[in-house]
């Protein structure tokens, strides 16, 4: 039987506007993950460098990322891990709610990871896990900052929001 694959999920880091660096606790929480997904609004490529010290990073650009990041990072992307299809998008745009826009971008995906709202989400919409890790640096109206962990095992993806 295959070992479960753990994936770190982070979004809306807004560095250096909201924090100078990735919070140290993120390194602990993401210890041992196979890869990291960043759902946009990095605002500097230093975020990718910092996270790559933990694991390979797959990122998309968000609505406040500078032009150089927008050129380098896609608006959306798909990642295939352990037999599951994961869509990654920031989620900004006109009409609909952020979760609805994210779901619409990846019909039939096993999981859709998004950001933008800074509000953690971990729920199923039909067969799709809809997942927003919140923000590791800018909690806005939330009580605490947060990140997420996805676990892929046996062709199924599950998620956990971790607040700190």
pLDDT tens per residue, range 60-101? 999 999 999 999 999 999 999 999 999 999 999 998 899 999
Burial (CB count <10 Å: 0-12, 13-18, 19+), residue 31 = exposed
CA distance 134 to 118: 4
Q: What is the per-residue pLDDT for 9?
A: 98
Q: Where residue 154 falls among pLDDT bands split at 50, 70, 90?
A: very high
Q: What is the per-residue pLDDT for 96?
A: 87
Q: What is the per-residue pLDDT for 92?
A: 96
pLDDT tens digits, one per residue of 94-142: 988 999 999 999 999 999 999 999 999 999 999 999 999 999 999 988 9
pLDDT tens digits, one per residue of 10-36: 999 999 998 999 999 999 999 999 999
Query: What is the H or E stretch that residue 57 is in?
Result: strand 57-59
CA 49 to chain CA centroid, nearest Å: 16
pLDDT tens digits, one per residue of 34-66: 999 999 999 999 999 999 999 999 999 999 999
CATH code, 5-163: 3.60.21.10
1 has pLDDT over 90: no
CA 153 to chain CA centroid, nearest Å: 19
State the alpha helices, DSSP H only, in 45-115.
46-52, 67-72, 98-105
Is residue 157 reached through a cis peptide bond, with omega within 30 degrees of 0 on the bond before it? no
Assess contact for 14 and 64: CB atoms under 8 A: yes
2 has pLDDT over 80: no
Max distance between CA atoms of the chain, in angstroms, equals: 44
């Amino acid at each position: 039987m295959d070992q479960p694959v753990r994936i770190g999920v982070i979004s809306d880091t807004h560095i250096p506007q909201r924090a100078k660096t990735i919070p140290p606790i993120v390194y602990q929480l993401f210890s041992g993950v196979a890869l990291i997904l960043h759902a946009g609004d990095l605002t500097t490529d230093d975020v990718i460098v910092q996270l790559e010290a933990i694991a390979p990073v797959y990122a998309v650009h968000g609505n406040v990322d500078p032009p150089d990041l927008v050129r380098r990072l896609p608006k959306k992307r798909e990642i295939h891990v352990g037999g599951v299809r994961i869509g990654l998008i920031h989620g900004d745009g006109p009409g609909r709610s952020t979760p609805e826009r994210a779901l619409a971008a990846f019909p039939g995906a096993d999981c859709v990871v998004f950001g933008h709202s800074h509000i953690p989400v971990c729920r199923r919409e039909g067969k799709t896990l809809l997942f927003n890790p919140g923000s590791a640096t800018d909690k806005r109206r939330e009580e605490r900052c947060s990140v997420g962990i996805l676990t892929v095992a046996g062709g199924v993806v599950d998620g956990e929001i971790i607040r700190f």
